[in-house]
Every structure is written in C-alpha cells, then in structure tokens.
C-alpha cells in the first residue's frame, strides 16, 4: 500500500491508491506537525511506501520524516517540480521556483484532459495556472486565499471586529459579510479573467479545474463552466510516484 501526503500551509491531506480512486481523502490541520497526525496516523495500516508533497519549511518536513521513520521504518520520498513530466512542460524560467503543489496539480489536470486548462487551487493562497492544449504551462498567479484576504483587513485597518459573515448577495449589508463576499468575488473575478484570456489564445474550449479546501466557496459563485476535483495535488503525486517507481 502506498500512502500519498500533501502538506499545505493550513491542512495536511492524505490518501492511498484505493482511496484516491474512490475520491476519499483525509485531512487535519498542519500547524503543529507531527502532533497533528499522531492520533489519526497511528491507526493506519503500515504503508509500503510514503510519498510527500510539501510547501512547508524544511524543519517541518524533517519532523514528519522522523515520525515516519520511527513509527513505520520507512524513508519517505518527496515530490519535486520538474521541467517536463507526464506531457506537461513547466513554463517558469527557473522551473524549480514553481511550487510543487502547483506542478502536481498541473500534471494531474493534464492526465484528466488534454484540453487547454485553467487550474485553480484554493487554499491559504489561491493559485491560478494556465496550460495550453500542448501541455505547455503558460504561467500563473498567486493571490491570498479567502481567509488571508479577510485577515489582511483585520490586521491592517481600523475596521471594527468582523467575525463571521454570510455571503447572501453580491451586495452585503453588514461589514463581516462584505469582507467575506469581497474575498470570494475578488477570486472569482480573477479566475474568470484568466479563463477568458486563455480562451482568446486557444482554439479549443478551455477547461477550468478547481481544487483545494476552499474550492466549494469558489465553485458556488464562479460564473463559468468548471469542475471541482478534490485532491488534485495527491493525484499528481500518485502520477509522479508511479513514474519514479
């Protein structure tokens, strides 16, 4: 059994091959590793191999490596960003600068469809990457996620406390809802802009794939055809591990 792990800034997600096929994912907070996974992982069947995609600092990764080695006697393998893989060509001038989570999401999206694509990952940050019908990564952007946008206002303005907030309409009638709505609408507008820009460049119909912890929020207000694919980074990790096996 292979275990695939995606360590983000907010959450750590994991799944086995069989669980990925069923769309079944597990997650917990990644703020305090390895404490955060102690209870849930000790109940897991010992895997034969562990593959990790991480955007955290090296000292965080090291703690997780030590836990896996101590509990399972396995040397975990880390995913890496590459120049070309699984039909996708990295568009960065320095390929290693592209986050490994974005790279894995791109190769997973390409495996699902050869169409030109906008790949959106909604987490602590929201990343939006474009890929043409030849699998060339054109490039992308990074912006604060929904929670970070709201937190930036809390920390850098004198707006009164604004816990909560409900998105009922594009025109909110209280401060908290105005901030939550603004955060989601800003991200939707950015995705829609890049989608239409890519559509102007490509002859085929552009596909939009949305993943990540806040994908549901974006999906509810995104005014273009799109597909929510849970665990896209884990799917890409599965592909890269198969290539390296």
What phi and psi values does residue 124 have, to the nearest 5 degrees?
A: -55, -40
167 among annotated binding-site residues? no
Q: What is the pLDDT of residue 104?
A: 98
156 among annotated binding-site residues? no
What domains can you pick out in the chain, each with its CATH number?
2-78 (3.30.420.40), 94-239 (3.30.420.40)
pLDDT in tens, 81-135: 999 999 999 999 999 999 999 999 999 999 999 999 999 999 999 999 999 999 9
157 among annotated binding-site residues? no
51 among annotated binding-site residues? no
96 among annotated binding-site residues? no
Cite the active site residues.
101
pLDDT in tens, 175-224: 888 988 998 999 999 999 999 999 999 988 999 999 999 999 899 999 99
12 among annotated binding-site residues? yes
Q: What is the pTM of this model?
A: 0.92
Q: What is the pLDDT of residue 131?
A: 98
pLDDT in tens, 3-37: 999 998 888 999 999 999 888 899 888 777 778 78
Q: What is the mean pLDDT of the chain?
A: 91
């Amino acid at each position: 059994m292979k275990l695939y792990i995606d360590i983000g800034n907010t959450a750590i997600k994991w799944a086995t091959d069989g669980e990925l096929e069923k769309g079944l994912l597990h997650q917990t907070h990644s703020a305090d590793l390895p404490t955060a996974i102690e209870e849930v992982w000790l109940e897991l069947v010992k895997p034969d191999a562990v593959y990790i995609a991480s955007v955290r600092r090296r000292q965080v990764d090291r703690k997780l490596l030590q836990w896996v080695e101590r509990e399972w006697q396995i040397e975990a393998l880390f995913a890496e960003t590459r120049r070309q893989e699984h039909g996708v060509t990295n568009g960065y001038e320095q390929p290693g600068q592209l986050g490994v989570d974005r790279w894995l999401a791109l190769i997973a999206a390409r495996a699902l469809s050869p169409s030109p694509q906008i790949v959106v990952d909604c987490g602590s940050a929201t990343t939006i990457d474009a890929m043409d019908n030849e699998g060339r990564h054109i490039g992308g952007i990074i912006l604060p996620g929904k929670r970070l946008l709201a937190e930036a206002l809390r920390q850098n303005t004198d707006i009164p406390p604004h816990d909560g907030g409900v998105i009922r309409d594009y025109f909110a009638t209280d401060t908290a809802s105005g901030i939550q709505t603004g955060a989601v609408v800003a991200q939707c507008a950015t995705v829609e802009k890049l989608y239409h820009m890519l559509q102007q460049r490509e002859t085929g119909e552009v596909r939009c794939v949305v993943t990540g912890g806040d994908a549901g929020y974006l999906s509810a207000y995104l005014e273009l055809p799109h597909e929510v694919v849970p665990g896209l980074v884990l799917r890409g990790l599965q592909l890269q591990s198969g290539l390296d096996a």
